[in-house]
Amino acid sequence: MAISRNRFDFCAARCLVLASFVALAAGLSYGQVKNSCLDCHSALPEPLGVTQEKFSQDIHAQKGLTCASCHGGDPTSDDPDRAMSRKAGWKGKIDRRQVPRLCGSCHSDPAYIRQFNPSLRTDQLDQYHTSVHGKRLAGGDAKVAVCTDCHSVHDLRAPSDPRSTVNPVNVANTCARCHADASYMKGYSIPTDQFAKYSTSVHHEALAVRGDLSAPTCTTCHGNHGAAPPGVDRVQNVCSTCHVFQDQMYEKSSHRKAFQSASLPGCVVCHSNHGIRHPTDAMLGAGPDAVCMRCHTPGDSCDQARAGLFGELNQLDQAIQRADQVLGVAESSGMEVSEARLGQNQARDSLTKARVTIHSFRKELVDQDIQAGLKIAANNLQAGQKAMVERNYRRVGLGVSLVAIALMLVGLRLYIKKIES
């Protein structure tokens, strides 16, 4: 009797535990939306294939959106006909021309977007309509970039994610997928060497090599959603967003008016655009890297002014190098010249400032920076030379001391010999 009662208790307990598990599993699954789309599409080949792993990387999936959020349909049904029925709102593959509007249906709605990211802008679609891409799409050209071309689809990541196609480091490659493809761009009458040139530029070096995320990439100058060429008369405004002081100086220069009246694109005239190299003083010279002589005539008043400015920059550069050399020797001799070394930074700052002031092409302004730098470099050179004189003085002093010590040693030795003999 006791045994059968125990067995009953044991069965009851087992049932209770099982029921608890079922209730727990039901409770955990409550609230999760079934997504039958991935069950089939994860097994399909590209372009229809979307795996769970891929989709889980997508920021939309992470925010709780499903396939149906864009494609419609009923993902809760395992029946393909029902899941992909027009009656259930299924849209199928989204037509390229409809992509911006579809994305905009959420991304242009501040109230909706605020739920996920209050700081995210909602003017992308409006900007897109002003872009060359948007305008051409509106004109029926389906080859131009739509949202998914740049941001990717089904594995779309936040721009801050280094793996995102629109992360600053990857933007140039993303743009180049179309813009560097000569056959794809055939018919648009624009060059396809921008990426190749950009890859050699100082901007690319700063961004890709030095990892400076503030360095410009395509979208910095052209805009992203509203991407368009800056326009000849707007180039200066684009460059000046970073190169503020150069812009202020250029505003004071005679070149500004001259370039404007000749419809020349400001900064680009001397520095080029996509392939901007690290500027050197040689640009002001008369050698192969010179840019002034492309427009000016040798020997004219402008050429003479150029030669004067070039000479001044060289003079300061050489003065800094001379001081550096002397200070280097003094330092390697163990002399304390850290203050002069620090002063060299000030001289270099003056040279940098002069190189910025060059954009005014006004001798009196450049002179101020050059003279300040020359004065500092001269002081530093003097400090280095003084340190070298001091070093030599020390060595002479050491020599005299060693001779005195040697004499003392000889004297002591002789004295010891005398008292021990």
Give residues in contact with other proteins (CB under 8 A).
Answer: 334-336, 338-339, 394-395, 397-398, 401-402, 405-406, 408-409, 412-413, 415-416, 419-420
- Least distance (Å) between residue 410 CB and other proteins: 10
- Least distance (Å) between residue 406 CB and other proteins: 8
Looking at the Cβ atoms of 10 and 415, the one nearer to other proteins is 415
- Least distance (Å) between residue 386 CB and other proteins: 10
- Least distance (Å) between residue 334 CB and other proteins: 4
Looking at the Cβ atoms of 44 and 404, the one nearer to other proteins is 404
Looking at the Cβ atoms of 321 and 401, the one nearer to other proteins is 401
Looking at the Cβ atoms of 81 and 339, the one nearer to other proteins is 339
- Least distance (Å) between residue 375 CB and other proteins: 21
Looking at the Cβ atoms of 309 and 335, the one nearer to other proteins is 335
- Least distance (Å) between residue 393 CB and other proteins: 10
Write out the two tokens for 161.
């994610």
d(CA 238, CA 220): 8
Amino acid letter, 318? Q
- Least distance (Å) between residue 270 CB and other proteins: 39
Looking at the Cβ atoms of 364 and 420, the one nearer to other proteins is 420
- Least distance (Å) between residue 346 CB and other proteins: 18
Looking at the Cβ atoms of 189 and 332, the one nearer to other proteins is 332
Looking at the Cβ atoms of 17 and 408, the one nearer to other proteins is 408
